[in-house]
Amino acid sequence: MTLYFTKEHEWLRVDGETATVGITRHAADELGELVFIEARPSGTEVKAGESIAVVESVKAASDIYAPVDGEVLENNAALADDPARVSSDPEGEGWIVKFRVANPDQLSGLMDAAAYAAFVG
């Protein structure tokens, strides 16, 4: 299992060809308490950089982008009733989608925890 981070403040926990995707603590703190999360339905195929979910705070809507090419496998159903879970535990119970990684080579372009920590500063 390997943990990756993106410049868009997402994390991916990759296990085989499946990745669990969410937003980082830094992103969650920036967005504030979330009131609604809408992820693309399972089976949706996306390219890196396309939206896989929208998270809404009181103030604004923000896109969550696919870090690599792949397919949405599952949405975190618990977020429908409790979107604030993303704010309280963004890197655990507040995961947003499970994702099939189409091309594992693309993962090498992402950051590890140390690089992300340096990126956030």
Partner 1 sequence: MGTDTLLHTPLYSLHEESGGKMVPFAGYAMPLQYADGIMAEHRHVREHVGLFDVSHMGQVLLRPRSGDVDDAALALEKLVPADIAALKHGRQRYTQFTNAKGGILDDLMVARLEDGLLLVVNAACKEADLELLQSELVAECVVELQEDRALLALQGPEAEQALAVFADDVRKMVFMDVRTLDVDGARCVISRSGYTGEDGFEISVSAKDADRVARKLLEQPNVKLIGLGARDSLRLEAGMCLYGSDIDTTTTPVEAALEWSIQKSRRNGGARAGGFPGADIILGQLENGVSRRRVGLRPEGRAPVRHDAPLYADAEFATHIGKVTSGAFGPTVGGPVAMGYVATNDSQTGHTVFAELRGRSVPSVISALPFVPAHFKR
What are the residues binding partner 1 (CB under 8 A)? 32-33, 35-36, 38, 54, 56-61, 83
Distance of closest approach, residue 104 Cβ to partner 1, in angstroms: 30
Q: Which of 54/111 has CB closer to partner 1?
A: 54
Nearer to partner 1, 65 or 106 (CB): 65
Nearer to partner 1, 14 or 97 (CB): 97
Give the Cα separation of 25 and 74 in Å (integer).
22
Q: Whose Cβ is closer to partner 1: residue 8's or residue 38's?
A: 38
Cβ of residue 83: shortest distance to partner 1, in angstroms? 8
Report residue 51: phi and psi, to 5°: -70, 135
In the complex, the smallest distance separating the C-beta of residue 29 from partner 1, rounded to whole angstroms, is 9
Give dist(CA 91, CA 29) in Å, integer. 12
CA distances to 15, 51, 58, 76, 109 from 82, in Å: 26, 21, 15, 10, 33
Q: Are 106 and 48 in contact (CB under 8 A)?
A: yes
CB of 101 to partner 1, least distance (A): 25
Cα separation of 78 and 4, whole Å? 23
